[in-house]
Homo-oligomer: A and B are copies of this chain.
Amino acid sequence: MFRHTKRLQFEARPERPDPLYARKLQELIGGAYGEMSVTMQYLFQGWNCRVEGKYKDLLMDTATEEIGHVEMLATMVARLLEGAPATMTADAVKDPVMAAVLGGMDPQQAIVGGGGALPSDSQGVPWNGRYIVASGNLLADFRANAAAEAQGRLQTARLYNMTDDPGVKAMLQFNLARDTVHQKQWLKAIEELESDGLETPIVPNALFDEEDQEHNHTIWRLSDGTDGKNGGWTQGDDPLEYLEDPQPLGGPGTAPAPDPALYGTYNPIADAKGTVKGKAQAAVKKAKGK
């Protein structure tokens, strides 16, 4: 169960409105790597966690914090939209900068949200549940979390350079800091899973003896660059092997004859030249026509 305090985790007050930036900030709310994603990813991982204790608690602490980040961003968006042009006047049309603002704003923030934030990204695509993962395997999931926080901090850093409003920058400095903590935290939690003996570096910690032993250590060169062999991955302990000219192992990818009731095109005795014998035509026609 959850409780809410009306105070924000951190202040979210721009010095002045900026409707174009309000659109860009939507990426951090409803983008694939925005705060709705980490909120839901950590909540579902916490609820799906089968190890009581430190891992589950860390997940729920962080998930609960992230709901508050959506709140901060939604508040910021509403304030950035204050006074945004909501009526069309003759002056607006003639002023080129105003025209640019009118053209570049997120129209739904006005028409749908009445000057508020939306659960969408900076292109207006709604957030959806396929953005997140909660597999029950903590190593797989923490790795996804570390990746999400990396993309999240990267996007925040890019947005940081797209404004010079001190109030916005102050909030983003807080967000950058939290993304730094969370990256560290998941990277350290990955180490902890291994030092606890719960997981090993390859996910899942199973089926190593059953997997194909010949092809679990080779890089297949399938593009004509040759530098794929020149990385550390082909050296040191447990080096990967680089195959310069790998050949396909399977036969041709043919599909079986179709069920006549599905009316797939089929020609049982077409030869390699693609010519079709008269008898085959009759047979096919009969098989398909009835």
Contact = CB atoms under 8 A, between A and B. Distances in A.
A231 B115 contact: no
Given A7-B252, A88-B161, A219-B185, A231 B51 contact: no
Interface in A39-93: 40, 43-44, 47-58, 60-65, 67-68, 70-72, 74-75, 78-79, 82-84, 86-90, 93
A75 B56 CA distance: 14
Interface in A185-205: 185, 187-189, 191-193, 195-199, 201-205
Interface residues of A, number: 211
Contact of A111 (B11, B27, B75, B132): B27
Which 7 residue pairs are nearest across A and B when measured between Cβ atoms?
Answer: A103-B104, A123-B124, A114-B136, A119-B129, A8-B250, A126-B129, A136-B264
Interface string A202-228: 111111111111111111111111111
Contacts of A205: 263, 285, 288-289
Nearest to A160: B207
Given A122-B107, A154-B203, A285 B197 contact: yes
Interface string A274-290: 11101001001100111
A187 B3 CA distance: 24
20 contacts: A2-B5, A11-B251, A32-B112, A57-B228, A65-B222, A68-B248, A87-B162, A100-B103, A102-B104, A114-B263, A115-B264, A123-B123, A127-B128, A135-B264, A143-B147, A158-B261, A174-B212, A176-B207, A176-B210, A206-B288
Interface string A221-260: 1111111101111000010100000001111111111110
A143 B140 contact: no
A250 to B, nearest CB: 3
How many copies altogether? 6
Nearest to A80: B256
Which of A23, A99, A150, A210 is most buried by chain B, counting CB atoms within 10 A of its CB?
A: A150
A110 B262 CA distance: 7
A146 interface: yes
